Amino acid sequence: MALQQTVEQTVAGLGYDLVEVERSAGGLLRVTIDLPWTPPTSEAVAAGTPEPFVTVEDCEKVTRQLQFALEVDAVDYKRLEVSSPGIDRPLRNEQDFERFVGAVIDITLKAPMGAAAAGQVSATRKKFRGTLERAESGSGWQLVWSDEAKIKPGQKVSKKRTPAPLHALGFVLDELRDARLAPIVNFKGRKAKTQPGFSDIDDGTSVPD
């Protein structure tokens, strides 16, 4: 069985969502998991209830089961690392995009799409950062941003200054090579999203971070 399939079946069988599988130098196999997401109820939104997050115990449970499954499939690796998504969490499917509407994300297109932005961007540009929104047409998605220059600390800003115009780029998921949450450090938290869990196994030893 292929590595991706083995990991996905094992993770799903334990009730988690597989976010990413990566092989790194030195034989490291890195697996990122998350809790399955369902749209919050209006009561939960009104109460400000935070989303549940992956814990160290979750990562350890997945690590133990994965170690067994990978051994059965004779997968070659030196070290297994299971963790929760970081601040640059990848977005892979429609549910991920629905979950993070309103968040700032980075996207990389498979092919330049400057013309789709009505001449607002370079025709060769593939990478964009902006706020994720549903497309106004109701079909697909759009990224909204402005090219407003960043204001330096202590810099005076004229009240008469004209704000930079907003740009919008529409797209569908098939046009993306990569999409991730923008790795912006926010000490107030990102809508009380996931807190990091971590489990690292080397020669059968489980160590929480």
Alpha-carbon separation of residue 33 from 15, 84, 146, 149, 205 (angstroms): 10, 5, 33, 37, 19
Percent of the chain with pLDDT over 70: 76
Name beta bridge partners: 144.
Answer: 131, 168
Residue ranges of domains in the chain, CATH in brackets: 3-86+194-208 (3.30.300), 94-181 (no CATH)
User: Over the chain, what is the mean pLDDT?
Assistant: 83
60 CB neighbour count, 10 Å cutoff = 19
**pLDDT at residue 155, as a whole number:** 65
Residue 10 scores a pLDDT above 80: yes
Q: How confident is the model at residue 42 (pLDDT cuts 50, 70, 90)?
A: confident
| pTM of the predicted protein model | 0.75
**Choice between 38 and 19, residue whose per-residue pLDDT is larger:** 19
Q: What is the 3-state secondary structure (H, E, C) of 138-177?
A: CCCEEEEEECCCCCCCCCCCCCCCCCCCEEEEEECHHHEE
Residue 199 scores a pLDDT above 70: no
**pLDDT at residue 51, as a whole number:** 80
The pLDDT tens digits for 126-169 are 999 999 999 987 788 999 998 766 666 666 666 666 666 788 88
